[in-house]
Structure 1
Amino acid sequence: MTARISKHTAAGTVVLVVRGVLDMPATPEFAREVFVAVEELTARQLLIIDLRELDGLPSEGERVLGEAAELCEAHGVECYLVVRPDDFPAVRNGVGDNQAARVIANNGRRDRPSTEDRSPPPRGDRASFFLQQRRSADGDVRLLVFGEIDVDTAGELALVLHDAVMRRTARAVTVDLGGVTFLDSAGVRALLHAHALAAAGGIAVRVVHPGQSVSKALRITGVHALLTEPDPGTTD
Structure 2
Amino acid sequence: MSQRQTHFRARQRKCGTSVVVELRGELDILTAQPLASCLRILTSGEGRDVIVDLRGVTFVDCSGLRPLCVAHTRLAAQGRRLRIVVTRPFVVKVLALCGLDETFELLETVPTGERSHS
TM tier, smaller: 0.7 to 0.9
Task: After TM superposition, give the deviation of residue 159 of structure 1 in Å.
Answer: 1.3
4+ aligned runs moved over 4 Å, structure 1: none
Q: Per-residue deviation at 1:225? A: 2.2
Match of 1:173 in 2: 50
The answer as to 2:114 corresponding to 1:198 is: no
Q: Kindly report which structure 2 residues correspond to 1:48-67, keeping only aligned pairs within 5 A, or say none.
A: none
Aligned counterpart, 1:136: 15
What SS is found at the alignment partner of 1:226? coil
In the TM superposition, what whole-angstrom CA distance separates every residue of 1:22-76 from its partner, at most 9, and x where no partner exists?
A: xxxxxxxxxxxxxxxxxxxxxxxxxxxxxxxxxxxxxxxxxxxxxxxxxxxxxxx
Q: For residue 25 of structure 2, what is the amino acid of its counterpart?
A: G
Tell me if structure 2 keeps the 8 A contact 1:144–1:177: yes
Match among 26, 33, 39 for residue 155 of structure 1: 33
Whether 1:187 aligns to 2:64 is yes
* Conserved 8 A contact 1:176-1:210: no
Query: What is the TM-score normalised by the length of structure 2?
Result: 0.81
Q: Cα distance 1:227–1:142, how it changes in 2: closer, same or farther (>3 A)?
A: same
Distance in 2 separating the partners of 1:168 and 1:177: 24
Larger radius of gyration: 1
Structure 2 unaligned blocks of 5 or more: 1-5, 113-118
CA RMSD of aligned residues (A): 1.7
Task: Output the TM-score relative to the length of structure 1.
Answer: 0.42
Identity of aligned residues (%): 34
Correspondence for 2:42: 164
Q: CA deviation at 1:209?
A: 2.2
The alignment of Structure 1 onto Structure 2 pairs a total of residues equal to: 106
**For 1:210 and 1:201, how far apart are their aligned partners in 2?**
28
- The code of the aligned residue for 1:188 comes to L
- Find the aligned partners of 2:16 and 2:97 in 1 and give their Cα distance: 36
Cα distance in 2 for partners of 1:210, 1:150 equals 18
After superposition, the C-alpha distances for 1:202-225 in whole angstroms (9 at most, x for unaligned) are: 110010124111111101111112
Contact 1:180 1:210 in 2 (8 A): no
What is the distance in 1 between the residues matched to 2:29 and 2:44?
23
Aligned position for 2:86: 209
**Structure 1 unmatched runs, 5+:** 1-126
| Corresponding letter in the other structure for 1:201 | Q
Deviation at 1:152, TM superposition (A): 0.4
Post-superposition Cα deviations, 1:132-152, rounded to whole Å, max 9, x if no partner, equal 1001254x2000000000100
User: Partners of 1:226 and 1:185 in 2: how far apart?
Assistant: 15
The answer to whether the 8 A contact 1:143-1:173 is kept is yes
Q: State the partner residue of 2:3.
A: none
